[in-house]
Amino acid sequence: MKPNNRYFTILLAGMLLALSACEKEIRLNLGDHVPKIVMNGIISPDSLIEISVSKSFLYTDTLSDRSLLKNAALTLFINGEERETMRMVRVDTVSGHDRLFEYSALVSVYRSTVYPQAGDRVRVEASAGGLQPAWAETTVPVPPQIHRIDTTIFFTSKQIINNGYSSGEGLYQNMRIKMAVTAGSSGADQRFRLRLRLMAEKIGEYPDLPDRYLYIYTNDDPVFEEAYRNSLLEDLISEGTSIEGMRHFDSALFSSKLFRDNSHTLDFSITDYYYLHTTYEEKEVDSGWGYPIYVPIKTEVFNPPIEVLFTAISPELYHYYLTGDYDPTSDEESFKLISEPEITFSNVHNGIGVVGAVSAAKAQINIPPLPGGKNADPGY
**Does residue 244 register a pLDDT over 50?**
no
What pLDDT was estimated at residue 160? 78
Q: What is the CA radius of gyration of the chain?
A: 24
pLDDT digits (tens, 9 = 90+) for 10-36: 555 565 555 555 555 555 555 567 889
Give strand pairing partners of 150.
178
The set of residues, in sequence order, having a beta carbon less than 8 Å from that of 366 and lying 6+ positions away, is: 305
CA quadruple 258, 264, 267, 271: dihedral sign: positive
328 has a pLDDT exceeding 50: no
Query: Which region, left, alpha or beta, applies to residue 237 given φ > 0 means left and ψ of -120 to 50 means alpha?
Result: alpha
Q: What is the pLDDT of residue 50?
A: 97
Say if CB 296 and CB 334 are below 8 A apart.
no
Binned at pLDDT 50, 70 and 90, residue 335 comes out as very low
280 three-class SS: strand
Look at residue 71 in the predicted model and tell me its pLDDT: 86
When the pLDDT of each residue in the chain is averaged and rounded to a whole number, the result is 80
57: phi then psi, degrees, rounded to nearest 5: -145, 160
Q: In what order do the strands lie in the sheet with 172-182?
A: 145-156, 172-182, 263-271
User: Whole-angstrom Cα distance, residue 211 to residue 200?
Assistant: 5
Is residue 352 within 8 Å of residue 52, measured between CB atoms?
no
**DSSP structural state of residue 261:** T
Percent of the chain with pLDDT over 70: 70
List, in order of start, the domains of the chain with CATH numbers. Answer: 30-139 (2.60.40), 145-342 (no CATH)
Whole-number Å distance between alpha carbons of 346 and 56: 13
Check residues 156 and 152 and name the one with the higher pLDDT.
Answer: 152
- Residue 363 forms beta bridges with which residues? 308
pLDDT at 62 (0 to 100): 61
DSSP 8-class letter at 227: G
**Cα–Cα distance measured from residue 135 to residue 62, given in angstroms and rounded to the nearest whole number:** 27
Mean pLDDT, residues 202-227: 89
Question: Among 124, 100, 129, which residue's Cα sits nearest to residue 112?
Answer: 124
Residue 332 has pLDDT above 50, yes or no: no
Determine contact, residues 3/241, Cβ cutoff 8 Å: yes
Contact status, residue 331 vs residue 234, Cβ threshold 8 Å? yes
CA dihedral defined by 21, 22, 27, 28, rounded to 10 degrees? -90
Check residue 347 and give its pLDDT.
94
User: Rounded to the nearest 5°, which phi and psi values hold at 234?
Assistant: -60, -40
